[in-house]
Structure 1
């Protein structure tokens, strides 16, 4: 019984190989067709570099387009924005919030431009305002996360705890600290450095 099973498997392999090779020889393109195919085939995108992204961010003229590109780059695997990109994006997002009057309207403009609002988008907006020391807007983004049904992760809660400590809302900051399910080094570092002051 085992011998028959192995023989059936080997027969299938042989048939598949023969059928593939006969199809391959029947439909293989001539050398002229190969050169045409290679010309029409899209080359894979080169990996993103910090310098390329930063220069593209600086060259983008409409602020909404620049923010959309920034968010698009952050979605790419193995790419994380550097400090230059965040520093540049602060002025972009500041102009957008001034023009649209609130974070919610900036998010609506992003949705209208085709950007899908996911937790990563809100986390990046929160980080932009946190790095730019515009804490009232950071709080607005943090509150907006629950509006979209997202639960803030440890990074978002760490930033919010830092903001609340800087506003001297120690009790609220400690509530955020207690609410962090998976605390990391930064959670304790932020809490201890502010409490020591």
Structure 2
């Protein structure tokens, strides 16, 4: 009987077999992001302030993860001690580098936000100066933070200098400047900032417009206040009871009671209800 000849097949080399196995797609475990609860737990148990800050920055570098405000607050005591021990922003950055933390633009933004939130303004200003020394360019957020600090200190020269060197303001830039200028009662500065804001194509929020109304009613002229009222009406802003009240009170202070009564009637016709504060200057 004839039998078919069987061809002998040599075994697959071990290296080739391993390469073939490795080339097959292996199931990937989904990347597990940190959670705020995990971050807070690690920070509270961390034996070193520097390691706590480094871990916080490491978590922020995970794609898709963003620290909530509560995590910033949890880290602040450790971050404050860390900055106080090292003394300067430069030393702080070098220490983070030694702990294996890469210094990137995101690192500066997180540190600026952290220390600004904690009220450590000298550290923030030093960090801002370090941004360029490390070869980076500050973005609008960092500039706005520095503006806020200078305005809190009342250093208007520093504010003007910052605006000249970083001439790319956004809406928040103007909102920050307007808020501080209105609190200080500097109507000429408020008026200039408001006009520049409009020229740049930004519309004030209801809160900003109310602050402008309040400042103008105390330090501006009546014609300027009426112009503001017209602007709010034409631009589609909802005139609040406080805005009407500011205008009526100013007319009463100037003895223009008939015009004040007429404005009260317009206020009622617009659907805005007068308050006790609205009526007070009319009945004095």
- Normalised to the residue count of structure 1, the TM-score between the two structures is 0.74
Q: 1:162 aligns with which of 148, 151, 154?
A: 148
> Which stretch has the larger CA shift, 156-165 or 102-111?
102-111
1:187 aligned residue: 173
Deviation of 1:181 (Å): 4.5
Q: Does 1:53 align with 2:45?
A: no
Q: Given that residues 33 and 62 in structure 2 are in contact (C-alpha distance below 8 angstroms), is that contact kept between their aligned partners in structure 1?
A: no
Structure 1 unaligned spans of 5+? 1-26, 30-37
Give the corresponding residue for 1:98.
84
* CA–CA distance in structure 2, aligned partners of residues 73 and 184 of structure 1: 29
Q: How far 1:100 moved relative to its partner?
A: 1.7
Matched, 1:137 2:123: yes
Contact 1:154 1:181 in 2 (8 A): no
Whether contact under 8 Å (1:161, 1:174) holds in the other structure is: no
Distance 1:147 1:28, change over 3 A: closer
Q: What residue number does 2:30 align with?
A: 44
Q: 2:56 aligns with which of 53, 70, 87?
A: 70
SS at match of 2:70: helix
- 1:95–1:172: structure 2 CA closer, same or farther, 3 Å change rule? same
User: Partners of 2:28 and 2:21 in 1: how far apart?
Assistant: 20
- Secondary structure of 2:162's counterpart equals helix
Of 71, 83, 108 in structure 2, the residue corresponding to residue 122 of structure 1 is: 108
**Are 1:113 and 2:99 an aligned pair?**
yes
Instruction: Name the residue aligned to 1:32.
Output: none
Q: C-alpha displacement at 1:136, in angstroms?
A: 1.0
Number of aligned residues: 165
- Contact 2:50–2:96 (CA under 8 A) maintained in structure 1: yes
SS at match of 1:152: coil
Whole-Å Cα distance in 2 between the matches of residues 94 and 157 of structure 1?
A: 22
Kindly state the Cα deviation for residue 175 of structure 1 after the two structures are TM-superposed: 3.0
Matching residue within 58, 67, 91 for 1:81: 67
Quick one: distance in 2 between partners of 1:181 and 1:189? 15
- Bigger Rg, structure 1 or 2: 2
How far the C-alpha of 1:129 sits from its partner, in A, is 1.2
User: For each residue in 1:35-76, what CA deviation from the matched residue of structure 2 results, as whole angstroms up to 9, or x when unmatched?
Assistant: xxx8xx874332232222222222222111111111011112
Whole-Å separation in 2 of the counterparts to 1:94 and 1:52: 21
